[in-house]
Structure 1
Amino acid sequence: MQSGKLSVKKKSEKQLKEEYAKCVTGLGLLVTGISFMSSAGIEKVDISAYTQRVDKKMDKLKTIIFIQFNWIEKVLLK
Structure 2
Amino acid sequence: MTNKSLKTYLVTWLDEYKKGTVAKTTFELHERNVNNHIIPYFKNVLLKDVKPVMYQKFIIQLTEKGYSRRTVEIIHGTMNNL
Q: TM-score scaled by structure 1?
A: 0.31
Q: Going by fraction, where is helix more abundant, 1 or 2?
A: 2
**Which structure exhibits the higher relative contact order, with contacts defined as CA atoms closer than 8 Å and separated by 6 or more residues?**
2
- Which is greater in Rg? 1
Q: Going by fraction, where is strand more abundant, 1 or 2?
A: 1
